[in-house]
Amino acid sequence: MAPSFLFLPLFALLVISPAFGSDPSQLQDFCVADNSSQVFVNGFVCKNPNVVTVNDFFFSGLDKAGNTNNKLGSSVTAVAVNNLPGLNTLGISLARLDFAPGGLVPPHYHPRATEILVVLEGTLYVGFVASTNNQLFTKVLNKGDVFVFPQGLIHFQYNQGWTNAVALSGLSSQNPGVVFVANAVFGANPPISHDVLAKAFQLDKKTIDWLQAQFTAAN
């Protein structure tokens, strides 16, 4: 049997590892992102604190509705590290979601963040698919209702009401990322082989070619 001391580092790793499941914690009061830096790091290089200003921690505009005049009838206004550099290393971001009647934020996932959503106006039908048995969890949300989408799981938001809807989402990363499933699969660049997609989706190649044409144009 291996000496017990060999298990101590493993136990420590298992206990500590959840802390590394999201953005790393800051090591100083703040680390404002220097978006002009040419240095590549996991995140963004810190701006010299001596040149940081109050505007590095400020964003204006979430009071304005997004433009929903598009095929999906929805708009997402994100506030993340790229447009609010003070978020760097803080592990949070925000988004305003606007929906016309019938508007949809299509199935997507955030590779680096859990999302918590609150409905400010209207009614939304939301849901996510679990990785176990592809179980679908859905709920109709009204004004004031809150729903959480676990990190990395495919989810959607749909306005099934007759009026506009507005929601606010908080995300557990300064840079959560977003992957729209249909765009990624059918709009990949370069395209995924239609032989692969035809077999995966049990469709004929002509249909796959048509789908790829729609999403390549959309991208």
Known binding-site residues equal 108, 110, 115, 155
* The Cα angle at residue 43 between residues 41 and 45, in degrees rounded to 5: 65
Give the HSE-up count for residue 186: Cα atoms under 13 Å, Cβ half-sphere.
20
The annotation places the binding site for Mn(2+) at 108, 110, 115, 155
Q: Which two tokens stand for residue 135?
A: 């179980």
**What is the number of residues in the chain?**
219
Local structure of residue 42 (DSSP, 8 states): S
Coil, helix or strand for 87? helix
Give the position of tokens 């019938």.
102
**Binding site residue list for oxalate:** 110, 115
What is the DSSP code string of 131-196? Answer: SSTT-EEEEEE-TT-EEEE-TT--EEEE--SSS-EEEEEEESSSS---EEHHHHHHS-SSPPPHHH
Contact criterion met (CB below 8 Å) for 158 and 103: yes
